[in-house]
Structure 1
Amino acid sequence: MNKIPECLIHPVSIKLLRQGHPWITADNFSNRFPRQSEFVIATDDRKRPMALLMHDPYHKNVKARVWSTKFPFDREAQHFTASIQGRLDLAFEKRIQQNELKERENYYLVFGEADQLPGLFILRLKDRVLIQLYTQFWNRYKSIIQTTLQEVFPEIKDENVWFQLRGETKELQKLPQNSVDQNRRDEFHIAEFGIQYLIRLGSSYDHGLYTDMSSIRHTLAKLIRPGCAVLNLYSYTGAFSLWAMKLGATQVTSVDLSPKYIEWLQQNLALNPELNHTQHEAIVSSVDEALSNLKKEEKKFDVIICDPPSSSSDGEKRTSASKAYKELLQKMDPLLNPKGKLVVFLNTHQVSQEKFDRLMKDYLAELKLNYKMSTRLHLGQDCPTLKGFPEGSYLKGLVLEKQ
């Protein structure tokens, strides 16, 4: 192996790395890393080695990810392949030991940085596996990842292993591809808490079910009572709606702007004939328009679930979910019964849980709405988070109880 270049990193990066942050982002220092080097050793302002970095010159924002802070770094690089296998085995074993995951056929076998496998996420979908790469660094190690996976889970066949490049930049946003046939399209069903869902691989960027919210859906079983009315805003393919019906809600309304997702929701409903379909209403509309119409119809709900995209556009301007919540709270409140609950989510690492709490509290005070903040919702179970890494804690939620 060639000598690994030692590179000075930005003073802010030095501080963050010492606090446990696993990323080196784009700046005047990281942009000068030798482009052809697979690994880089980060040094502080006194030229002291700090960490072995996985280098990714092609990523727009994250130029390197911390692989090890253990000396000697050249030895860590030499044993990189063995370390991948060891870390994968450890992550797999953690999931195998989690009894909570036995209630669903979808869960993360690897959750990136929190499993010490930066930028690598492995999602189990029944007898399929979706391996998601958030850095092109992992491209050259795909065969090792797949081989290690199949050694632990020999029931997973080659034709059921999928890879996907993901990320915020267009260069990383790719459709999932089958490891055997890159043009394959696959539709199948999986079960989560006794509910069947349609999954599509190879035909769209997202496959139809947000597994990182599975543990939160399980938590909401404490809130949704038999006989209640539930409004699910930004419903996507309806996981919260079907779960509410499974829990005994007798009136469920789903709202999404996308006809494609509402049709997908209807297909999910058809997979679950034990649910009373007459108790569900699907609305293809903007949330703003739907809330206005539901108010005119004098509809009332016991639980309103609101999970907006991190930002949205009306064609003229782009609005962040955190800023949009003031208007959303004002429009949701008249639809909520006394003692009802608002379940509100924010899906961005740019706003911490504490800041989201303060934001909701300030909006409620400004609007003179009387709510109690009762429960925080966050990633859990198969989706662990890492201290000192706010980007990994992107999903947060609150339960607001109407007083």
Structure 2
Amino acid sequence: MNKLIVDSSTEKRIKSGIQLLSGKDFPDLELTDDVVSIQSRSGQFLGTAYLSQQNKGVGWLISRQPIQVDQEFLVALFEKAKSKRQSYEQSELKTAYRLFNQDGDNFGGVTIDRYGDYALFSWYNAFVYAQRELIVSAFQRVYPDVLGAYEKIRFKGPDYESAHLYGQEAPETFHILENGVVYEVFLNDGLMTGIFLDQHEVRGGLVDGLAAGKNLLNLFSYTAAFSVAAAMGGAEATTSVDLAKRSKELSEAHFRANGLDLENHRFVVMDVFEYYKYAKRHGLTYDVIVIDPPSFARNKKQTFSVAKDYHKLIAQAVDLLNPGGTLIASTNASNLTMGQFKKQIAKGFGQIKYRELSVQQLPSDFTINNNDESSNYLKVITLKV
């Protein structure tokens, strides 16, 4: 096994519990897609890592011990991950959740989600992709009940995004259950699946009546999962806004799966900033507004970055909010700390008074590395105006 000698600042990061190896720490790195022994300049062994370029970092520390990445090592990881998620496995109200979450389960670069009887593997770099047969065979030993699996390619390399990986093929679309609500999902159509599983606790709040009897606006709605949850929790009306033309068809599928009448539920294919103007012109107001944008977006007229521009979404949403209304502000930007996110929100509100009702981050199936704030990327703040 190759040795990688690190400087004192990298040694400090590793000893603090951070598993991601940053490109800034290795400007002249020549090794790649290989397992290495990490050592300090004084010769102290710091851990076993693998090197592989991905959109964040150049590799991951995977053990504090000298280890071999073999089936026994991976089976032990999967068994430990499974034991953390017993409550999900035993739930009759939830059939979709995360089984394995990167550095939260001590192996960065791979996530595995459960969608009913099927698993979905996401590969984030060339090393894990090259090891996928080994990873899959270890997974099958721990989860023999999973009927089949699919894979998503989340790095530049292979010439495909999505494929069937092993076992039985899933139907083109099928239903999963979450908080007792039915959602229609798909596993082999690009990188999306029809739902973002990391938001299941936020949707749970809506199912439990956060928007009961109220009129909800869902911005950047994708397949309107927040809107469906709100409708199932007694919302009087919902409006879901997304620029993607396909979002309307996918959103309606969720509503139909739950036998919901579409009469009081609108689906608008429009840029969110254009919809703000439209709503103001038509005097539309709402009791609850959900804002969950992508971290970065670009259209013909402008680019949008959560880190710089989130306050603009808040400022314009406040104009559409009824007195005493509720705003759910959400972001999955890992480059934005909770403190920075709260500053963006405060800037958006300006002089308007508001109070925090709740602050949520990743749910327990999305295990995190407690020593690395960027591992807990989801930030959802529910505010009362």
TM-score normalized by structure 2? 0.92
What displacement does 1:374 show? 2.4
1:108 aligned residue: 98
Paired residue type of 2:118: R
Q: Secondary structure at the match of 1:83?
A: helix
Q: Distance in 2 between matches of 1:108 and 1:217?
A: 16
**Residue pairs, 1:197-346, within 5 angstroms:** 197-221=183-207, 224-273=210-259, 275-315=260-300, 317-346=302-331
What displacement does 1:376 show? 0.7
Paired residue type of 2:261: N
1:43 aligned residue: 39
Query: Alignment identity in percent?
Result: 23
Question: Structure 2 regions of 5+ residues with no counterpart?
Answer: none
What displacement does 1:338 show? 1.4
Q: Distance in 2 between matches of 1:262 and 1:252?
A: 13
Paired residue type of 2:44: R
The 1:155/1:48 distance shift into structure 2, 3 A limit, reads closer
2:353 aligned residue: 370
The 1:363/1:336 distance shift into structure 2, 3 A limit, reads closer
Paired residue type of 2:149: V
Matched, 1:12 2:9: yes
The 1:317/1:334 distance shift into structure 2, 3 A limit, reads closer
What displacement does 1:369 show? 1.4
The 1:318/1:134 distance shift into structure 2, 3 A limit, reads same
1:189 aligned residue: 175
Q: Distance in 1 between matches of 2:160 and 2:9?
A: 32
2:380 aligned residue: 397
Q: Secondary structure at the match of 2:141?
A: helix
**Aligned residues of 2:70 and 2:134 also touching (Cα < 8 A):** no
Instruction: Output one character per residue of 1:133-168: Cα deviation in whole Å (capped at 9) or x when no partner.
Output: 2222223432333333333333323xx21122224x
1:63 aligned residue: 58
2:78 aligned residue: 88
The 1:254/1:85 distance shift into structure 2, 3 A limit, reads same
**Aligned residues of 2:332 and 2:379 also touching (Cα < 8 A):** yes
1:175 is matched with which residue: 161, 179, 195?
A: 161
Q: Distance in 1 between matches of 2:230 and 2:55?
A: 40
2:152 aligned residue: 164
**Aligned residues of 2:75 and 2:141 also touching (Cα < 8 A):** no
Q: Secondary structure at the match of 2:252?
A: helix
Q: Distance in 1 between matches of 2:143 and 2:167?
A: 21
Q: Secondary structure at the match of 1:374?
A: strand
The 1:63/1:173 distance shift into structure 2, 3 A limit, reads farther
Q: Secondary structure at the match of 2:324?
A: strand
1:384 aligned residue: 367
Q: Distance in 2 between matches of 1:172 and 1:195?
A: 36
What displacement does 1:27 show? 4.1
What displacement does 1:66 show? 0.4
Instruction: Output one character per residue of 1:171-215: Cα deviation in whole Å (capped at 9) or x when no partner.
Output: 379522112499998322222223222212222111111001112
Q: Secondary structure at the match of 1:8?
A: strand
What displacement does 1:10 show? 4.5
Q: Secondary structure at the match of 2:317?
A: helix
Q: Distance in 2 between matches of 1:290 and 1:46?
A: 60
Paired residue type of 1:262: K
Question: Structure 1 regions of 5+ residues with no counterpart?
Answer: none
Q: Distance in 1 between matches of 2:279 and 2:90?
A: 37
Q: Distance in 2 between matches of 1:8 and 1:96?
A: 40
**Aligned residues of 1:311 and 1:321 also touching (Cα < 8 A):** yes
Pairwise CA RMSD? 2.5
TM-score normalized by structure 1? 0.88
Q: Secondary structure at the match of 2:85?
A: helix
Instruction: Output one character per residue of 1:347-368: Cα deviation in whole Å (capped at 9) or x when no partner.
Output: 211111122123322432xx31
Q: Distance in 1 between matches of 2:371 and 2:306?
A: 24
**Aligned residues of 1:165 and 1:173 also touching (Cα < 8 A):** no
Q: Give the count of matched residue pairs.
A: 385
Q: Distance in 2 between matches of 1:172 and 1:399?
A: 40
**Aligned residues of 1:185 and 1:203 also touching (Cα < 8 A):** no
The 1:100/1:228 distance shift into structure 2, 3 A limit, reads farther
